[in-house]
């Protein structure tokens, strides 16, 4: 192995902050990653997810989880068979060609991803709307940012976040609404923490039904009832008007439509708003005061506003406040939408939504269509509206759309109303999945699987939340037979051209054999399309990006740098140059709580996971913070129903049900419930009474979407919750060689449907994996948990034991078949100690509390002998656990922190300092700092 | 007044224990006469294996030295085999003509090893394993010869094999069954046992049918031949394939014999109430016991009646087994094979060489088979005899009395 490390500058593939990373490679293997100190988004910092990227790209993970060759499924649900790329592309072209011929181009649906690069997007957009002639091309940005887009366009006239991260340092008030920035955009939050540290006068208001880690930094937390944001914002405006806190001069000079809005907010009186939102009138007034009267107010918002049946109205109502108070176009003053995905922005720039065309053009606008047709050298592009994500899958379920081409996203996990989505995937005649990972939930439905490149291999550009374009560079050649997404699009296009417009010059003159040249050619064509548009980047080039680093748009020809801030002149990209107030009245959530569905279910993100976890889910250590799925409920609701932590409940909405453990949390309100959006059927499943496999959290969510943005309400559903009476329980877990663990998890997944409830997750060493523990990456843990009405046939348990390596002759066993009791413990000598390296508990699983600790923390177990098989929650020999991981980077657990805090004296700031000085927790990526602060606050020093 | 005459035929463990029990209750009731075929005082037959293994000497295992007989005024005719009982005259006669009259007679003639009826069974070097004589023969042979074959992989056979091995012989155990000690162990425990005996150097031929014993010119056995034609060399063949109750004497005296001498719950023969019988020669409720514990229970009851208390009853015994091979712990009791209508709890710890199986029926422990860790054997045996319900501590049962108590404390 060569000792000379190569370094490649690229970007992080996770959230929309768009951090720069430096990838270290040795001998064609990614050996490390660190933050790019020169990247203006993160200046060298990375979060728990970004700083472990290299581990997700290890040879072992690649071999076990990546899709490495084209596969064809000869019959649905059957095992896919390998085939050559040419055969695969011919098959795809034949099928699409046939369907276009038989049913017309609108029988096709392309469903792409905010994780594709701008160049990938551009090719597929041109392929669908240009070559094939259908606008049925949408992306998962529809589930993520389309409300923000619609909100911006409805008010400011263009889909452009007007601010920069640098504005954090100029704001006097940060108004964070519907965003758990601390977890979902960690590096942005680090910068906010810096700003607050530098200027303690900075006031932070957080609007969120849940008490998230973001709230830890807040001066004011408005825990509103889910979905009442519009009422809140209108109520704030009502008070601003009453108090004379608005900016009439700005309203008069730069806006229109204020009178209509005034009429709407008139009856949003403090009393009514306080009642609807479930907050006090004082807090409401304080929020209005801080927003309006601070010298500069910057609002940050994300899925809490976007994923809503009134998402556009929520965005617009917040922007209303900026316009009414003139909190826009100045340093630190703007409505700043935080983008969810790394390149949702870039996708929209090339028109990657059913209602958009290249360079922020509107499909509905004939002028725009003509411009794009000219740009592509076509007579015309189609004017019939395309189908948005939800509509596309409903159309497929209804049989209108015959072929689905899915790239770089996982609708069988991420779309609401999974029943319909899965019906669509089954009914469609031809489903193509272009993916980097082999075993997403969607892969099970694909007729054709095309291996795509991913982080570390891809090249092109991305645009982050602050309109900043960065180069994405390849550190490695593609894994296996994987190809770049854009190249797959081009090669498919060439085949389709041969069928649909034979003899004519290709619309896709991009060399796929020379990727660097290829992506640059695509990008230059895209750049040309932006000339004169709000996002004009005609002054930008790959060369300039290489020379001067990431740049913000617009950057028109002649400009030296991009624009850090928009609308400083008060002129907006609307026909009359004025921003428009949006006078939309408050609408409640699509499904209000009622006696049949008495809980408000919200979905959330986890600190150490991202989306469907196809990447983060490969690392055991990222499960240290939140190891397993659970539904959170307020302790009072738990007490009322006499549920205990960890008990299984069935969560049912009007669309479906899932089973998972319940967990008390004071972070949410009474009659509210919360499940992380990551838990799809790849990790959380089971089997319904009628025998269907349970499809994860989004089974519950409604597909009801915002009329303006067509973004579905993924953030709220009315549910009922009842105890799941599944007396027989199972927990099986083992350390496995890192080059087998993920394969084993894949082999366990099919068994999940054999139980009424099941979860299957990797895990890592908890606490610092000391010398006794395995070297990082040497071993990975896999945990399988299940429950059922009665004990399953022993063969099934034997199968699970075999997969987890518990069938070896040295394992201790206890079997009382008649009582459904089965316990198996694998022990291995390590040095002079005996350690538990695997276990299966069936029936009575109470011993998990101490056995799991023995296993996960590599505690010596020779003292137990056969008592390792003894039942009950009481350890036969006392076990001292190190607790739950709080700081993933340095493996510091809550118990270590609590012990230290007990002896840290002084004010909280000092105590945090002492804590970090002693344990180093939160000193690397800092993602756990909000949690540390909370612990500092709650755990008082032991005096005397 | 004149003492009653009690004559005992057979100077073995069961009988002498009966006398001891009797003397405890009433030392003066009888004038006691004992005939013993072996030229020894009563010794602990089940300790012959340690003697063979060289772990104990004959002196160590003598239970009642000659002085004991003398001190209790017991007339001992050792080395005299009784050949006739005259129930009319109430006299027994030994082969040398010695006679003794009795008021009450106690038959403790024990059992004889069963010899496979195969060609060559009378060759020199083919013996059984029953008494001090056999034991001495083995010890002497081991000093001169190399190869030994033990036919019979039961308790006795394995003890003999182990002893001969320890005395330097290369020993092969021939067993007709698929696994060893099938009457005391299930297959799993038996394989563990076989494994550890193999590690000690024993060889095994399981499921092997002995066809003949092959002799040499010197008239001494030189090999064992099997039905499949194969042979193993043997300078010594020890038959340990079971025993037959010694009942010739009783039959000739016209007592009802069914496998053993049939006795009732007072251990009196059903034919003649003046005659008692205990030990391996007796059949009680259809069972002739071969292990020492039940025989001692019989002794107690018999003594009680001989002492004219007339209150005790013998209702049969549960038996449990231990193998006297140093370093090997195994224990079994009751119906450890389970079967229709029974439930099993099984624990195994291969690394520690431990296997435990408990058989339960109607919430009661009916059988146990322990290998490698027999600490709780006595507790299980107690639960088994008491037939008490284990329902409320079934989950602790496998982890022994201690864990039951600790869990009881927690509860």
- Dihedral sign (CA A260, A261, A264, A269): negative
What per-residue confidence (pLDDT) applies to A536? 96
- pLDDT above 50 for A769: no
A773-782 pLDDT, tens digit per residue, is 444 446 899 9
ipTM: 0.81
- Tell me how close the Cα of A17 comes to any Cα of chain B, in angstroms: 54
Q: Do A779 and A736 meet the contact criterion of CB atoms below 8 Å apart?
A: yes
Determine whether the interchain pair A866/B410 forms a contact, defined as Cβ–Cβ distance below 8 Å: no
Of the candidate ranges A541-545, A560-564, A603-607, the one whose mean pLDDT is the lowest:
A560-564
What per-residue confidence (pLDDT) applies to A883? 82
**CB contacts, 8 Å: B351 with chain A:** 810, 812, 827
CB-based contact, B362 to chain A, within 8 Å: no
Phi, psi of A588, deg, nearest 5: -70, 175
**CB contacts, 8 Å: A814 with chain B:** 345-347, 398
Determine whether the interchain pair B343/A811 forms a contact, defined as Cβ–Cβ distance below 8 Å: no
- pLDDT above 90 for B302: yes
Most confident of A352-366, A634-648, B344-358: A634-648
Determine whether the interchain pair A812/B344 forms a contact, defined as Cβ–Cβ distance below 8 Å: no
- pLDDT above 50 for B357: yes
Q: HSE, CB side, 13 Å, CA atoms: give it for residue A108.
A: 26
Determine whether the interchain pair A866/B343 forms a contact, defined as Cβ–Cβ distance below 8 Å: no
**Cβ count near A544 (within 10 Å):** 15
A169-223 pLDDT, tens digit per residue, is 999 999 999 999 999 999 999 999 999 999 999 999 999 999 999 999 999 999 9
Comparing CA positions, the residue from A249, A265, A266, A231 lying closest to residue A326 is: A249
What per-residue confidence (pLDDT) applies to A768? 53
Decide which of A333 and B403 is more confident. Answer: A333
- Which residues have a Cβ under 8 Å from the Cβ of A318 and sit 6 or more positions away? A151, A175, A177, A229, A233, A299, A301, A305, A335
d(CA A342, CA B326): 72
Which of A809, A814, A816 shows the shortest C-beta gap to B350?
A809
How confident is residue A374, by pLDDT bands cut at 50, 70 and 90?
very high
B142-181 pLDDT, tens digit per residue, is 999 999 999 999 988 999 999 999 999 999 999 999 999 9
Tell me the CA distances in angstroms from B128 to A311, A358, B113, B115, one per residue in order: 96, 102, 6, 7
Of the candidate ranges A98-112, A581-595, B309-323, the one whose mean pLDDT is the lowest:
B309-323
Structure tokens at A556: 């028109």
d(CA A362, CA A533): 12
Terminal-to-terminal C-alpha distance of chain B: 64
* SS3 state at A637: helix
Percent of chain A with pLDDT over 70: 98
**CB contacts, 8 Å: B344 with chain A:** 815-818
* Chain A interface, Cβ < 8 Å to B: 809-819, 821, 827, 844, 865-867, 869-872, 874, 876
What per-residue confidence (pLDDT) applies to B406? 59
Nearest 10 degrees: Cα torsion A74, A75, A77, A79:
-30
**Cβ count near A778 (within 10 Å):** 12
Q: Do A820 and A728 meet the contact criterion of CB atoms below 8 Å apart?
A: yes
What per-residue confidence (pLDDT) applies to A832? 85
What per-residue confidence (pLDDT) applies to A874? 84
- pLDDT above 50 for A146: yes
Percent of chain A with pLDDT over 90: 87
- pLDDT above 60 for B326: yes
**Helix A281-293 × helix A270-277 angle, to 10°:** 110
CB-based contact, B399 to chain A, within 8 Å: yes
- pLDDT above 60 for A415: yes
What per-residue confidence (pLDDT) applies to A143? 96
What per-residue confidence (pLDDT) applies to B189? 87
A455-503 pLDDT, tens digit per residue, is 999 999 999 999 999 999 999 999 999 999 999 999 999 999 999 999 9
CA angle A65, A66, A70 (to 5 degrees): 135
CB-based contact, B346 to chain A, within 8 Å: yes
Averaged pLDDT, A631-652: 97
Output the DSSP codes for B326-393: TT--EEEEE-TT--TT-EEEEEEEGGGTEEEEEEEETTEEEEEEEES--TTHHHHHHHHHHT-B-GGG
CB-based contact, B344 to chain A, within 8 Å: yes
Per the prediction, chain B carries an average pLDDT of 92
d(CA A517, CA A511): 7
How confident is residue B1, by pLDDT bands cut at 50, 70 and 90?
low
Inter-chain contacts counted by CB atoms under 8 A, chains A and B = 61
pTM over cut 0.90: no
Which residue has 């704001």 as its token pair?
A171
Output the DSSP codes for A857-872: TT-B-TTTGGGGG--S
What per-residue confidence (pLDDT) applies to A877? 79
A845-894 pLDDT, tens digit per residue, is 999 999 999 999 888 898 888 889 998 888 887 777 778 888 888 888 89
Per the prediction, chain A carries an average pLDDT of 94
Determine whether the interchain pair A821/B395 forms a contact, defined as Cβ–Cβ distance below 8 Å: yes
* SS3 state at A801: helix
Q: Do A700 and A659 meet the contact criterion of CB atoms below 8 Å apart?
A: no
What per-residue confidence (pLDDT) applies to A770? 40
What per-residue confidence (pLDDT) applies to A868? 93
Categorise residue A76: left if φ over 0, alpha if ψ from -120 to 50, beta otherwise.
beta
B37-56 pLDDT, tens digit per residue, is 999 999 998 889 889 988 88
Structure tokens at B286: 């259809």
Task: Please give the sequence-ordered ranges of beta strands (E in DSSP) within A305-417, or none if there are none.
Answer: 334-337, 356-357, 361-362, 403-407
């Amino acid at each position: 192995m060569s000792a000379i490390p190569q370094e490649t500058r690229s970007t992080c593939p996770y959230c929309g902050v768009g951090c720069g990373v430096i990838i270290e490679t040795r001998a064609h293997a990614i050996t490390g990653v660190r933050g790019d100190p020169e990247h203006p988004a993160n200046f060298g910092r990375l979060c728990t997810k970004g700083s472990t990227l290299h581990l997700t790209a290890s040879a072992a993970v690649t071999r076990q989880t990546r899709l490495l060759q084209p596969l064809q499924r000869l019959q649905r649900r059957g095992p896919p068979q390998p085939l050559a790329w040419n055969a695969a592309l011919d098959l795809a072209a034949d099928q699409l060609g046939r369907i276009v011929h038989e049913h017309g181009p609108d029988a096709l649906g392309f469903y792409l991803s905010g994780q594709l690069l701008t160049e990938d997007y551009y090719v597929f957009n041109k392929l669908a709307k240009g070559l094939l002639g259908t606008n049925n091309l949408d992306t998962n940005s529809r589930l993520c940012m389309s409300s923000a887009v619609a909100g911006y366009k409805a008010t400011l006239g263009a889909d452009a976040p007007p601010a920069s991260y640098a504005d954090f340092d100029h704001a006097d008030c940060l108004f964070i609404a519907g965003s758990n920035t601390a977890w979902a955009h960690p590096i942005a939050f680090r910068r906010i923490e810096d700003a607050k540290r530098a200027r303690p006068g900075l006031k932070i208001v957080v609007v969120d039904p849940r008490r998230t880690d973001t709230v830890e930094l807040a001066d004011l937390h408005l825990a509103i009832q889910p979905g009442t944001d519009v009422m809140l914002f209108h109520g704030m405006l009502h008070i601003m008007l009453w108090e004379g806190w608005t900016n009439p001069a700005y309203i008069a000079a730069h806006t229109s439509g204020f009178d209509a809005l005034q009429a709407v907010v008139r009856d949003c009186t403090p009393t009514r708003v306080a009642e609807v939102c479930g907050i006090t009138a004082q807090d409401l007034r304080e929020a209005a005061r801080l927003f309006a009267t601070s010298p500069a107010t910057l609002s940050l918002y994300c899925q809490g506003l976007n994923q809503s049946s009134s998402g556009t109205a929520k965005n617009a109502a917040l922007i209303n406040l900026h316009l009414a108070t003139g909190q826009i176009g100045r340093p630190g003053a703007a409505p700043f939408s935080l983008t969810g995905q790394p390149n949702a922005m870039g996708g929209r720039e090339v028109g990657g939504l059913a209602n958009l065309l290249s360079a922020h053009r509107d499909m509905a606008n004939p002028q725009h269509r003509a411009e794009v047709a000219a740009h592509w050298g076509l007579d015309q592009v189609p004017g019939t509206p395309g189908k948005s994500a939800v509509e596309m899958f409903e159309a497929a379920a209804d049989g209108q759309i015959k072929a689905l081409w899915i790239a770089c996203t996982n609708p069988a996990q991420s779309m609401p109303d999974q029943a319909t989505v899965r019906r669509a995937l089954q009914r469609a005649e031809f489903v193509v999945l272009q993916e980097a990972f082999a075993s997403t939930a969607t892969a099970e439905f694909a007729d054709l699987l095309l291996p795509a490149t991913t982080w570390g291999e891809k090249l092109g550009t991305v645009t982050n939340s602050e309109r900043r374009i960065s180069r994405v560079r390849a550190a490695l050649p593609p894994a296996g037979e994987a190809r770049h997404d854009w190249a797959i699009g081009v090669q498919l296009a060439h085949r389709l051209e041969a069928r649909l417009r034979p003899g004519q010059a290709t619309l896709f003159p991009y060399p796929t054999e020379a990727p660097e040249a290829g992506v640059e050619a695509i990008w230059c064509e895209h750049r040309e399309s932006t000339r004169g548009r709000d996002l004009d980047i005609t002054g930008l080039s790959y060369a300039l990006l290489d020379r001067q680093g990431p740049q913000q748009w617009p950057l028109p020809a002649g400009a030296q740098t991009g624009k850090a801030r928009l609308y400083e002149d008060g002129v907006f990209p609307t026909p009359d140059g004025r921003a428009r107030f949006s006078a939309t009245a408050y609408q409640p959530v699509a499904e209000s709580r009622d006696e049949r569905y008495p809980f408000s279910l919200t979905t959330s993100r986890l600190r150490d996971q991202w989306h469907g976890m196809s990447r983060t889910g490969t690392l055991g250590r990222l499960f240290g913070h939140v190891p397993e799925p659970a539904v959170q409920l307020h302790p009072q609701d738990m007490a009322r129903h006499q549920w205990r932590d960890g008990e299984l409940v069935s969560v049912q909405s009007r669309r479906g049900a899932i089973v998972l453990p319940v967990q008390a949390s004071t972070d949410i309100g009474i009659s509210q419930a919360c499940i992380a959006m990551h838990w799809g059927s790849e990790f959380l499943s089971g089997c319904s009474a009628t025998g269907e496999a349970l499809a994860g959290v989004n089974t519950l969510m409604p597909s009801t979407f915002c009329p303006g943005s067509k973004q579905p309400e993924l953030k709220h559903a009315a549910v009922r919750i009842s105890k799941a009476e599944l007396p027989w329980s199972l927990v099986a877990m083992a350390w496995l060689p890192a080059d087998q663990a993920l394969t084993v998890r894949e082999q366990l997944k099919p068994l999940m449907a054999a139980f009424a409830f099941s979860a299957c997750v990797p895990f890592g060493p908890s606490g610092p994996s000391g010398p006794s523990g395995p070297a990082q990456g040497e071993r990975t843990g896999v945990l399988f948990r299940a429950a059922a009405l009665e004990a399953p046939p022993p063969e099934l348990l034997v199968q699970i034991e075999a997969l987890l390596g518990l069938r070896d002759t040295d394992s201790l066993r206890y079997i009382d078949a008649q009582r459904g009791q089965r316990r198996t413990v694998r022990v291995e000598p390590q040095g002079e100690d005996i350690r538990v390296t695997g276990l299966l508990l069936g029936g009575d699983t109470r011993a998990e509390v101490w056995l799991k600790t023995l296993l996960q923390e590599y505690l010596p177990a020779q003292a137990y002998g056969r008592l390792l098989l003894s039942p009950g929650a009481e350890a036969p020999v006392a076990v001292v656990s190190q607790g739950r991981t709080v700081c993933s980077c340095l493996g510091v657990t809550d118990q270590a922190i609590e012990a230290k805090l007990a002896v840290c004296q002084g004010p909280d700031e000092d105590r945090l300092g002492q804590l970090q000085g002693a344990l180093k927790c939160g000193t690397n990526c800092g993602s756990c700092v909000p949690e540390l602060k909370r612990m500092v606050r709650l755990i008082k020093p032991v005096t005397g | 007044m004149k003492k009653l005459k009690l004559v005992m035929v057979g100077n073995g463990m069961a009988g002498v224990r009966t006398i001891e029990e009797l003397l405890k209750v009433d030392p003066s009731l009888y004038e006691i006469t004992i005939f013993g075929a072996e030229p020894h005082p009563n010794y602990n037959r089940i300790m012959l294996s340690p003697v063979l293994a060289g772990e104990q000497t004959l002196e160590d295992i003598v239970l009642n030295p000659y002085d004991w007989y003398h001190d209790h005024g017991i007339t001992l005719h050792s080395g005299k085999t009784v050949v006739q009982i005259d129930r009319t005259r109430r006299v027994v006669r030994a082969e040398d003509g010695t006679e003794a009259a009795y008021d009450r007679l106690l038959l403790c003639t024990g059992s004889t090893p069963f010899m496979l009826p195969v060609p060559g069974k009378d060759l020199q070097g083919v013996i059984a394993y029953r008494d001090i004589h056999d034991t001495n023969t083995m010890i002497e042979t081991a000093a001169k010869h190399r190869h030994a074959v033990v036919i019979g992989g039961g308790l006795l056979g394995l003890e003999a094999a182990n002893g001969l091995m320890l005395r330097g012989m290369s020993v092969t155990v021939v067993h007709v069954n698929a696994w060893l000690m099938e009457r005391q162990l299930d297959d799993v425990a038996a394989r563990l046992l076989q494994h550890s005996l193999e590690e000690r150097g024993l060889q095994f031929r399981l499921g092997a049918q002995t066809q003949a014993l092959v002799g040499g010119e010197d008239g001494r056995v030189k090999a064992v031949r099997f039905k499949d034609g194969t042979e193993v060399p043997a300078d010594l063949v020890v038959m340990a394939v079971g025993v037959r109750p010694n009942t010739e004497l009783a039959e000739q005296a016209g007592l009802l014999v069914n496998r053993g001498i049939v006795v009732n719950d007072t251990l009196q023969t059903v034919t003649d109430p003046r005659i008692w019988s205990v030990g391996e020669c007796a059949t009680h409720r259809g069972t002739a016991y071969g292990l020492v514990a039940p025989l001692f229970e019989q002794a107690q009851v018999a003594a009680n009646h001989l002492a004219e208390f007339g209150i005790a009853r013998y209702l049969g015994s549960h038996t449990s087994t231990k193998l006297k091979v140093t370093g090997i712990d195994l224990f079994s009791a009751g119906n450890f094979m389970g079967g229709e209508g029974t439930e099993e709890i099984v624990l195994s710890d291969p690394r520690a060489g431990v296997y435990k199986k408990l058989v339960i029926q109607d919430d009661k422990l009916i059988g146990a088979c322990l290998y490698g860790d027999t600490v709780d054997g006595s507790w299980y045996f107690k639960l088994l005899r008491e037939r008490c319900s284990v329902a409320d501590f079934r989950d602790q049962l496998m982890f022994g009395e201690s864990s039951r108590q600790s869990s009881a404390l927690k509860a």
